Each structure stands twice: as C-alpha cells, then as structure tokens.
Amino acid sequence: MASTTIEVTRPIRPGAKKKVPKMGTFIMAVLILFFGFYVVYPILLIFVQSFNVAGVIAGEYSFSFDNWRKAFAEPGILESLGNTVLVFASYTAVSFPLAVVIAWLLARTKMRWSRGLEFMFWVSFMLPNLTTTIGWTLLLDPYFGFINVLAQKLPFVNGPLFNIYSVEGIVFAHLMANALSQKVMLLTPAFRNMNITLEEAGRISGAGSLKTMMRITLPVMVPAMVVVFMLNLVRMFNSFEIEQILGTPIRFYVYSTRIYELVRHTEPPAYGQATALASLTLLIILAIIPLQRWLLGRRQYTTISGNYKPGVTDLGLLQPVAFGLVLFIVAMLTIVPVLTLLGGSFMTRAGFFQATPTYTLGHWKMVLSDPIFFRALKTTFILAITTAIVSPVIFSMIAYILVRKKWPGNATLDSIFWFSAGIPGMLSGLGLLWVIVGTPGLSWLFGTIWILIIVTVLQGKLTAVQMFKSSFLQMGQDMEEAARTSGASWTYAYFRIWLPLIAPTLVLIGILNFTLAAGATSSVILLASRDTITLSLLALEYMTSAAGSSREVAGIISLFVVAMTTGLALVARWFGFQIGVKSR
C-alpha cells in the first residue's frame, strides 16, 4: 500500500512583505561603521604596521619581529614609556591632594567669591598648555627667565634659582597647565552636593573642622575621587607640548615626543620603531580602559537624598588664609603666564633688561607682516568655529539615540566612544596617517584642512556624548510622547523640543571643543602641512627653534590663541544665558 506525503504550507497573507531592517538598525550600523573606522581601524593598522619591515609608506608588506627587537634593543625607546609614567605619577601626586583641598575649600567653606574663583579654574583649563608653558618658560628659564634675572640682584644668590628645563620643571609646567584645574573643576560640584548633616553629626561629636574633613567628608567623597582619578589615568599618554618644549633640549623624551622624533626628525624616518612604540603604549592603554570602566560601573554612593541639606563651614581665623591660598593659585594658573607673555612680547629679548633698546615693537611687526601667521590664523579659526558648531549638534543627536532609542548596537557604539577616550592624540594621529597613506582614494586628504576638521570635530566626542546623555537622562519623556501623539517624527521632536532644552549644554560643549580645536597640537601635528599649519603648531615651531627672538614671537602667537578662546568663552557665556528655557 503506497503512502502519500502531503506538504502543508502556510498561506501567504495578502499584502505581506518580507521583513526588512528598520531605519534605526540602519542608522546604528552607519554610526558604528563610521566611528569604528575612525577609532578602531587606525589602532589595528598601528599593530599591523609594527610588524611590517618593508615599505610602510609605499604600501609594501613583509612581516617580522625586527621592529619590536629594535624597540627593545634601544634603551631610549622603552625609557620614554617609563618617563611618561614618571611625569604622570609626579604631577598627580601633587595635583590630586591639592585639588581635593581646593575643591573642599570652594564648596564646603565660607569662601568669598567661591563661584568666581571656581570659574577661574575653568578659564585656566581653557588656556592652551602651550600658552602657559611658554609663559612660565619666560619666567623660569635658567639664563633669561624674569624670576632668575631678578634673583641675581640679590647678594646671596649665585646662579639660577630655577631651571624649567628639567624633570621638575616639566612636572611644574603640567601643574600650571590643566593638571590641577581639571581636577578642581570635576571635584568641586561633587563636594558641593554633599549633605552637610553628615558633617554636622561629626561636629556634634566634638570633632573639629580638620578632623571632620579627614574622617567624614573625604571618606564619603572617595567614590567621586576614584572617578576623577580614573578619568585622568586613561589620559596619561595625552601630553605632548610641554615635554616637546622642555624635555627635548635636555634629551628627556616621553612616548609622544619620541614618536614625533622618530617620524619627523630621523633620517630616514624610523616608522617601524615608531609603530612598535605606539603598539606597546596601546597594550598599556588597553589594560587600563577595562579597569576604568569596571571601577566606574561599580560606584554606588549617595550624597543627595530626600533629607538633603546644603551648607558650608566657617573656618574662622583660617578662612582668610584659605582665601589667599586659592587666590594665589588662581593667579599662578591664569594671570601670571598671560601677563608674562604680554610683557615679554614688547622686550627686545625677554629677560634681558640690559639690552639696548630694552623694549620694542619689532616682534609684533614681524608677526603681523608674516603671511604664514595669517594663514595659520585662518586655519585655526576655521577649525575652531567648525568644531564649535558641528560637534555639539552631532554628539547631542548621538546621545539622544543612545538614551532614547533602544536600537541594536547601542552598547557597541557607547563602548567605541569609551575606548576612544584612552587613545592619545599622537597615537590617533599616527594611526590616521597610516590610514590615509595606505588606503586607496584617501591619500589626497593628507595635509588638507578636511582631515584636520575631522580630527578636531571628533577629538572631544566622549566628553560631549556623556554630558548630553546626562542632560537627556534628567528629562522626562512625556513632552516627546505628546509630540509623537500629534504625529511628529523623532527628528522633529529633537529639533523642536529637546534642542531648546539642552541649549546651555550645547553652548558649553561648543566652548570646550572650540578651545580644544584652537589649541590642538599632538592630534594634528603628523597630519598638517605647511599650508594647513595652525597657530598652536606655529607657536610650537618657534618655541623649539634656536633662532633669535623665537620665544617672543611664539608668545605673541599664543596670545592670539588666548584671545580667541577667552573671547569666545565670554561671548558664549553671555549667549548661554539668553537661550534655552528661562524661569519667570
């Protein structure tokens, strides 16, 4: 008896369509591919090129461990990594406890003008490292520094008191740049949000202000301090300008200046050793980033609760002393280096009071008649303005997607941003150099304004995305739901509802990214050409030149950078109060 098999198929519904990816999946895929290409691909290329002993620039490949052997064989290569850690550990050991004390004084004591002093630390942070370094070089140079020259007039002084061209000078320059101000900026709001009832309980038990701070305030703030420390730890390898100016004359190299030396000042360029050193640095960074994210993800602490009570402590007779200390530090960070640059720019040779004539306008005439200066000014202005306008819009939309949209790939995109935070500017620039040179159709980007715009727009991506995410997380979804009910798309809701609400944050991110773009050096120095040199690169070039009057000219150029950044900061700060949601 034969058996018959009948195949039953499900009827196709009329009008049914094949399942296609949603628009959100497509958008997320584009974002991951773009940022992955920009962040991950250059890093992978550095690893690959570190084993390539053939023609890196010519696109030839022959793999072996020779580059790594040379890197380990030359003490100067590995020594540069040790110097990087040494400098970071030295200025962190000083800046971190000092920043904790200053943040506590500003937030937890009856400090006069505390808000204004806190804003001055923001001003210090916005001053380019190059500017403060040149200013303090004019003050502490062992031969012509203002302080050393004046000290020679004292009867008991024989020889220079200070030498900024030293490891100690490099550490001091970092403290006067943003190593201290950045920590104060991050810690002060956390101290201000602490509930004063915890400290009141300590005083009721008979503890004084100092004991209360040591036994109650600081232990409660440990999680916040860990966050700040880890955020700075991943940026250990970001420094370049200070070590290039102060370390190169004494043959003291950190990893970034060593890579620059190998690529730009070695004949023939030692690309293989540079990529091997970059790969060693990346291995260290790749070990730090997961540790940082693990510690940040474990933080659970409460400083504001339902019975939150703000308040400050009166230090009594010590309050004026504390005020004077903070005021002195603020002056050292901001006023002193800028005034030094301004005064030195009018001297025939800064620090040579015996020169005839002592004062001159020659340096200003030289700068203002130099076509390269105006070309650099134009490039810097284009980069800074484009970055200030484009980056807040782009990263606010990405933050909106990460917070409001549950699209596949959100976690991957967020991880790419976190990973990018640990990649120093020099490594990013080196990786992009290999991408441009080694990828068909991209070589035309080298030395153009377009690659510099891409770099400056994207270099502040993590900070921008995280700040916008915080803003969106604080806002309810009921307004957007109402817009959707009325038939509005998510793009319409974003531009008509969310954008006005986050306007102050947009202004803040625009200011920060404008400052970063105007002062960028390590991230663009390997990608810029003579036609696209920026003011910061031009000032760095003059500062490391042996030609006469180069330091005075570098100081004048850096003053233009200061004028651009502080001028925009003041205008944008006023503009920020005029937009957004206002209370009546």
CATH of the domain at 191: 1.10.3720.10
Examine residue 167 and state whether it is found in any structural domain, yes or no.
Answer: no
| Residue 334 forms part of a structural domain | no
The DSSP code for 38 is: I
Helix (H) or strand (E) holding 270: none
Q: How far is CA 394 from CA 384, 391, 399, 496, 506, in A?
A: 15, 5, 9, 16, 10
- Average pLDDT (26-44) is 85
Domain enclosing residue 249, as ranges: 43-109+181-301+354-578
Pick from 504, 496, 495, 517: nearest CA to 572: 504
For the ranges 158-162, 195-199, 362-366, the one whose mean pLDDT is highest:
362-366
Distance of CA 485 to the CA centre of its chain: 42
Predicted pLDDT of residue 450? 92
In this prediction, residue 5 has a pLDDT band, given cuts at 50, 70 and 90, of very low
Mean pLDDT of 174-201: 76
Can you tell me the distance from the alpha carbon of 266 to that of 249, in angstroms, rounded to the nearest whole number? 16
pLDDT at residue 136, as a whole number: 92
Most confident of 19-23, 125-129, 193-197, 328-332: 328-332
- Examine residue 264 and state whether it is found in any structural domain, yes or no: yes
pLDDT-based confidence at residue 173 (cuts at 50, 70, 90): very high
CA dist 308 and 337 (Å) reads 41
pLDDT at position 168 over 90? yes
Whole-angstrom Cα distance, residue 229 to residue 156?
Answer: 42
Considering the domain boundaries, does residue 124 fall inside one?
Answer: no
Residue 91 pLDDT grade (very low, low, confident, very high; cuts 50, 70, 90):
very high
In a domain, 14, yes or no: no
- The model's pLDDT over 280-316, given as tens digits with 9 standing for 90+, comes to 777 777 776 666 556 555 544 444 444 444 456 777 7
Residue 7 main-chain phi, psi, to 5 deg: -90, 120
* 312, part of any domain: no
pLDDT at 543 over 50: yes
Q: 529: which residues sit within 8 A by CB, 6+ positions away? A: 446, 447, 448
Higher per-residue confidence, 215 vs 465: 465
Residue 584: per-residue pLDDT:
43
163, part of any domain: no
Q: Identify the pLDDT of residue 336.
A: 92
Question: How high does pLDDT run on average in the chain?
Answer: 78
Give the count of domains, the chain: 1
On the question of pLDDT at 577 being above 60, the answer is no
277 domain-assigned: yes
State pTM to two decimals. 0.78
Q: Is the omega angle on the peptide bond into residue 310 within 30 degrees of 0, that is, cis?
A: no
Provide the percentage of residues in the chain whose pLDDT is more than 90: 14
